[in-house]
Amino acid sequence: MSAQTGAGYQACIVGIGETDYTRRGGIEDRSELALACAAIATAAKDTGLNLNEIDGLSSYANDESVPWLIQESLGLPKLRYTTMAWGGGGGGCFAAIAQAAAAVESGAANYVAVFRSLCQGQRKRFGQGYGVPHSPGFLDPFGMYAPPFMLAPLAQKYKHDFSIQEEQVAEIALNGRANAARNPRAVFKDRPLDLDTYLSSRMVADPFRLYDCCQENDGACALIVTTAERARDLAGPTVRVLAAGQASEPGWGSGGLGSHNMPAEDYRAGGGTALASLVYGKAGIGPQDVDTAQIYDHFTYFVLMNLESFGFCGRGEAGAYVADGNIRWETGALPINTSGGHLSEAYIHGLNLAVEGVRQIRGTSTSQVPDAEICLLANSASAAILGKA
């Protein structure tokens, strides 16, 4: 049959794997390719799956661990599906899950490994200044060579229009650091952060202070995606992919990394409203059903924007929402970034947020939300919703 349907064919995540996470340049004894292979092998072991059964690979923009080298390194005998989500940098992370889900649900592959690997001490440093190839004439003359400078105007517009206070934004960073303290994998697990330290930190690109910006890290992680039917024969716990996809509003193009000409209302929202409608509609749920969320926190301000875009509060209300303690574990209405997120666990371009989402549904997080059944994985370029099997 060309299109498989029914509950047995719904995509599930059945395994997760990680290497150690370090600050940029901390891994010198293994290559980026070796890290990718190690994460995939660990995820397969977590699943109880023989590596020989993996027949698909999925990643996203800028990944340099190409599939044919992974196939040779792991000895995968029947690789028949490989894909990469274009654009958005790490913002495409959850789109890689969507493509893996589409592969197993359609029968294009049986077991797809979704992966991301970074070794910035040996390879490209993503936080360093660089020009965007397709729009140098629009950004380079203004010194917008690196992500903080490219994205600061969006955050400044949002802050100005909605009178967002720095003490409110600080809650995103403080929450991540508090959660990291319980997570032995977190790079900043032993580095507490308080409000005074946040407010006195240097300005990087107004309004981004030092602790508004994510880390630069080395490390890798991976997920194994298959169908619910095949998952019944595996050892590991099963997590359903209720929805996953990509969407954007008109005019966004490459977003703040390459364009600032989207409509004003969408611009100050940071994108994401069309995406939220897409994944909620596919999953058949709303924001009121979400128990925990792992939100792409490359910069703190965009977490506030996504809280609004995904319907947890009204437009311009996220500052007050987080200040009221709603995102805190374990008393908040919506605990977020429970591993520490990109700000305090590691920045593996979003995929470590997905690994944490799986842990929440499995019930094995170091900041476990009691009886968590629905986890949202969100940013303005791609999103996914995970649920109990």
Does position 130 have pLDDT exceeding 80, yes or no?
no
Tens-place pLDDT, residues 48-104? 999 999 999 999 987 889 999 999 999 999 999 999 998 777 888 999 999 999 999
* Residue carrying the six token digits 């209300």: 317
Give Cβ neighbours of residue 261 (< 8 Å, ≥ 6 apart). Answer: 251, 253
What CA–CA distance (Å, rounded) separates 223 from 212? 28
Binning pLDDT at 50, 70 and 90, where does residue 9 land?
Answer: confident
Q: How confident is the model at residue 36 (pLDDT cuts 50, 70, 90)?
A: very high
Residue bearing the bigger pLDDT, 135 or 251: 251
Query: Global pTM?
Result: 0.95
Query: What are the backbone dihedrals phi and psi of residue 179, each rounded to the nearest 5 degrees, phi first?
Result: -70, -35
Please determine, for residue 238, whether its predicted confidence score (pLDDT) is greater than 80: yes
Could you read off the pLDDT of 133-173 as tens digits, one per residue? 556 567 777 778 788 998 999 999 999 999 999 999 999 99
pLDDT at 125: 61
Separation between Cα atoms, residue 46 and residue 16, nearest integer Å: 6
> What is the C-alpha separation between 387 and 33, in angstroms, rounded?
31
* Distance separating alpha carbons of residues 43 and 380, to the nearest angstrom: 27
Instruction: Count the neighbouring beta carbons within 10 Å of the beta carbon of residue 325.
Output: 12
| Helices 147-162 and 300-309, packing angle to 10 deg | 50
Per-residue confidence band for 2, with pLDDT thresholds at 50, 70 and 90 = very low
Buried b (16+ CB within 10 A) or exposed e, 104-117: bbeebbbbbbbbbb
On average, the pLDDT of the chain sits at 92
List the domains of the chain with CATH numbers.
7-121+214-388 (3.40.47.10)
Instruction: Find tokens 């070794």 and name the residue.
Output: 119
The residues near 207 (Cβ < 8 Å, ≥ 6 apart) are: 152, 155, 156, 159, 166, 169, 301
pLDDT of residue 266: 87
Give percent of the chain with pLDDT exceeding 70. 93
Q: For residue 362, give the nearest of 7, 3, 6, 14 by alpha carbon.
A: 14
323-366, pLDDT tens digit by residue?
A: 999 999 999 999 999 999 999 999 999 999 999 999 999 999 99
Average pLDDT (176-193) is 98
Q: Could you tell me the pLDDT band of residue 258, with boundaries at 50, 70 and 90? A: confident
- Secondary structure of the chain in HEC code, one letter for each residue: CCCCCCHHHCEEEEEEEECCCEECCCCCCCCHHHHHHHHHHHHHHHHCCCHHHCCEEEEECCCCCCHHHHHHHHCCCCCCEEEEECCCHHHHHHHHHHHHHHHHHHCCCCCEEEEEEEECCCCCCCCCCCCCCCCHHHHHHHCCCCHHHHHHHHHHHHHHHHCCCHHHHHHHHHHHHHHHCCCCCCCCCCCCCCHHHHHHCCEEECCEEHHHECCCEEEEEEEEEEEHHHHCCCCCCCEEEEEEEECCCCCCCCHHHCCCCCCHHHHHHCCCHHHHHHHHHHHCCCHHHCCEEEECCCEHHHHHHHHHHCCCCCCCCHHHHHHCCCCCCCCCCCCECCCCHHHHCCCCCCHHHHHHHHHHHHCCCCCCCCCCCEEEEECCCEEEEEEEC
* Residues designated as active site: 296, 347
- What pLDDT, on the 0 to 100 scale, is given for residue 303? 98
- Residue 288, class by beta-carbon neighbours within 10 Å (0-12 exposed, 13-18 middle, 19+ buried)? exposed
Q: What is the pLDDT of residue 251?
A: 76
According to the model, what pLDDT value does residue 109 have? 98
Per residue in 297-321, pLDDT (tens digit) is: 999 999 999 999 999 999 999 999 9
Task: Extract the tokens encoding 124.
Answer: 């490209």
Residue among 367, 215, 211 nearest 301 (CA): 211
- The one-letter amino acid code at 365 reads S
Helix 93-106 vs helix 351-362: crossing angle, to nearest 10: 60
* Residue type for position 83: T
Per-residue model confidence (pLDDT) at position 135: 60
Of 298, 299, 319, give the one whose Cα is nearest residue 307: 319
Local confidence band at 3 (pLDDT 50, 70, 90 cut-offs): very low
**CA-CA distances (angstroms) from residue 63 to 123, 267, 295?**
11, 28, 21
